[in-house]
Chains A and B, each alone.
Chain A
Amino acid sequence: SAVISQKPSRDICQRGTSLTIQCQVDSQVTMMFWYRQQPGQSLTLIATANQGSEATYESGFVIDKFPISRPNLTFSTLTVSNMSPEDSSIYLCSIGGWGGQPQHFGDGTRLSIL
């Protein structure tokens, strides 16, 4: 299966700053997904990133807060902007399916906001 490299693996950030998370895949994929898991919550889809088009955001997530880039078929970034303590979460990128095929995840970014 594809190898997914996500970085940083963890970070501690100051309130009001922004952090960009990178996700690199060793093969070309059409769709990449960005998830967040806040403490005690379920893994929640932030947006779907397709190469060559704007990302599709889920209800409750907006582009100004979570801008996403997808410059090619192997790479994507998620920026968490103007961070507050509520943004402390694990952020995951993934590839793969939602139907008959499983998703494959990066190792995650564990983000803490002071």
Chain B
Amino acid sequence: GQSLEQPSEVTAVEGAIVQINCTYQTSGFYGLSWYQQHDGGAPTFLSYNALDGLEETGRFSSFLSRSDSYGYLLLQELQMKDSASYFCAVRAITGGGNKLTFGTGTQLKVEL
């Protein structure tokens, strides 16, 4: 099966940089995704890493190390609107299809 671990909560101040780590165990690994979910909202896609290294999309960057089964999401120049839950998710090949297994989420609180 698949399992993912990420911190349950992170607090940071506006304008700062925060890193949310994710370690995973899976077979048939395809890639690591990150999703953001505001309270009462639907998860929205942020980034995807299939290869080792850093992917940058505006203020958000995501990193993957396949050999370490580890990734992180980096949020720069934090804004109050970044307060949300962030989920890492592993995409793995299983039985002819694929499924996304999510971590339990990290609640990010951005303070003034």
Co-complex (A, B): no
Binding site for A on B (CB under 8 A): none
Binding site for B on A (CB under 8 A): none
